[in-house]
């Protein structure tokens, strides 16, 4: 929130200016209340765009009679859980009890109010009840300080923000599209590599087709019995030693755990880890010796370039998914992994291909990092423009 009120602006409590309505959910036991054509907004519908015309859940006319009436152009604000998510309602509707609605007032520009919520979020968080889930009730919400200029300036500020943010969002969209194109390029590099088209001096005519079981040591993971063999870690991401003990992981997304007793299912440094249970086909490379659970298997090539195998497996996620079975969760067997075929050039060509993939991927990854920084800079720019707008600094530009 701004520290100083711009000259000529006023400050009042939100409830002194606007009618505030807290949402309510009609009885879900009565099916006839739902799946109509009237928007019924939840926090998950907010922040997807500036305006809400359609919502995930809807009410029938009977259901609408049991919920608060929220007129179009109201600003909806989440006040339970993730505070400050917002949107403007494009047609008459209603919302659930996690949302407070700021009803339209002809003396105020509601798009200005919409943008103001971003500035006041720190106040909302500080004013929320200190419970497990943050709650800003209606009476406290109505105490929110609302700082505003005259209606003409409100409209001018809202229009300026609309224009600036549209340009920034367009730039962000272009950057995201560039990221996706670079990811597609990496896939095309891998496809060319294993078709023999990546380098002019390599030819697949003399490549052999081998099964993974013929060229790799394959270790299926096994989870130790009993919780007492584990010691939990806060943030080590499954790939580190802990006081001389061996790190354990069952899936890449799991919390790090460390074995405090002996276990034989060990993946050595540089092993390729393959998820054999949902999510099937995800792979990673180990940087440290690691114990693996039954959700993973470890592969390490014999007398081959292990990174050549790694890059090949990167493109096989869909293949492994197609081979997976299981009703509770999908999984693949050791035999499926062993019998998976790989086109295998001589080791000298493997080395050349891996070096070229590394070179191209390094350029792509560097570019992806620059794009990520640019996206973050664009988001920071939006916050900077917001602060200027509500401190009166945009007056010279509007």
The answer on 90 and 111 residing in a single domain is yes
With CA atoms as reference, report the closest residue to 5 among 133, 210, 148. 148
- Give me the pLDDT at residue 3, please: 63
The total domain count for the chain is: 3
**Cα distances (Å, whole numbers) of residue 71 to 19, 43, 95, 99, 208:** 11, 18, 11, 14, 70
- Give me the pLDDT at residue 248, please: 57
The answer on 226 and 199 residing in a single domain is no
Considering 344, 366, 386, which residue would you say is the last residue of a domain?
344
Highest-scoring range by mean pLDDT, 132-136, 173-177, 202-206: 173-177
What is the pTM (predicted TM-score) of this model?
0.77
Report yes or no on 3 lying in a domain. no
Question: 262: domain CATH number?
Answer: 3.90.220.20
Report yes or no on 356 lying in a domain. yes
- Give me the pLDDT at residue 51, please: 97
Percent of the chain with pLDDT over 90: 73
The answer on 333 and 290 residing in a single domain is yes
pLDDT at 234 over 80: no
Report yes or no on 1 lying in a domain. no
Report yes or no on 2 lying in a domain. no
For 290, counting Cβ atoms within 10 Å of its Cβ (0-12 exposed, 13-18 middle, 19+ buried), the class is: buried
Question: 353: domain CATH number?
Answer: 1.10.287.1120
C-alpha to C-alpha distance for 337 and 308, rounded to whole angstroms: 16
The answer on 241 and 133 residing in a single domain is no
Structure tokens at 267: 């993946």
The answer on 158 and 120 residing in a single domain is no
- Give me the pLDDT at residue 327, please: 81
How many helices (H) and strands (E) are present in the chain, helices listed first?
10, 21
The answer on 298 and 237 residing in a single domain is yes
pLDDT digit string (tens) for 320-338? 999 999 888 899 999 999 9
Q: Which domain holds residue 382?
A: 150-205+346-398
pLDDT at 252 over 60: no
The answer on 213 and 338 residing in a single domain is yes
Mean of pLDDT over the chain: 88
User: How many residues are there in the chain?
Assistant: 398
The answer on 364 and 234 residing in a single domain is no
Considering 344, 370, 390, which residue would you say is the last residue of a domain?
344
């Amino acid at each position: 929130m701004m520290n100083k009120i711009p000259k000529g602006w006023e400050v009042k409590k939100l409830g002194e200016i606007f009618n505030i309505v807290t949402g309510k959910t009609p009885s879900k036991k009565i099916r006839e209340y739902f799946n109509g054509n009237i928007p019924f907004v939840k926090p998950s519908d907010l922040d997807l765009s500036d305006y809400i015309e359609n919502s995930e859940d809807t009410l029938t006319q009977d259901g609408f009679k049991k919920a608060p009436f929220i007129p179009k152009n109201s600003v909806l604000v989440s006040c339970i859980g993730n505070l400050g998510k917002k949107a403007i309602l494009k047609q008459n509707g209603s919302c659930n009890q996690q949302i407070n609605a700021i009803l339209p007032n002809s003396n105020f520009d509601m798009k200005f109010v919409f943008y103001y919520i971003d500035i006041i979020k720190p106040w909302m968080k500080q004013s929320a009840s200190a419970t497990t889930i943050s709650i800003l009730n209606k009476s406290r919400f109505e105490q929110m300080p609302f700082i505003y200029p005259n209606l003409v300036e409100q409209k001018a500020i809202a229009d300026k923000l609309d224009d600036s943010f549209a340009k920034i969002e367009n730039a962000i969209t272009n950057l995201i599209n560039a990221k996706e194109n670079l990811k597609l390029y990496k896939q095309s590099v891998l496809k060319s590599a294993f078709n023999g088209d990546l380098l002019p001096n390599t030819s697949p005519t003399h490549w052999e087709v081998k099964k993974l079981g013929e060229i790799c040591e394959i270790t299926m993971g096994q989870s130790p019995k009993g919780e007492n063999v584990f010691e939990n870690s806060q943030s080590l991401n499954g790939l580190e030693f802990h006081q001389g003990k061996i790190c354990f992981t069952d899936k890449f997304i799991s919390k790090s755990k460390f074995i405090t007793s002996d276990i034989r299912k060990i993946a050595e440094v540089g092993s390729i880890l393959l998820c054999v249970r949902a999510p099937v086909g995800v792979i990673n490379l180990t940087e440290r010796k690691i114990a693996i659970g039954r959700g993973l298997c470890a592969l390490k090539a014999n007398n081959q370039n292990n990174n050549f195998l790694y890059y090949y497996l990167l493109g096989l996620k869909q293949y492994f998914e197609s081979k997976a079975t299981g009703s509770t969760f999908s999984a693949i067997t050791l035999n499926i992994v062993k019998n998976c075929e790989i086109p295998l050039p001589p080791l000298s060509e493997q080395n050349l291909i891996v070096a070229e993939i590394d070179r191209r991927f390094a350029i792509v990854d560097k570019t992806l990092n620059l794009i990520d920084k640019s996206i973050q800079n664009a988001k920071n720019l939006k916050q900077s423009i917001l602060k200027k707008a509500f401190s009166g600094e945009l007056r010279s530009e509007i």
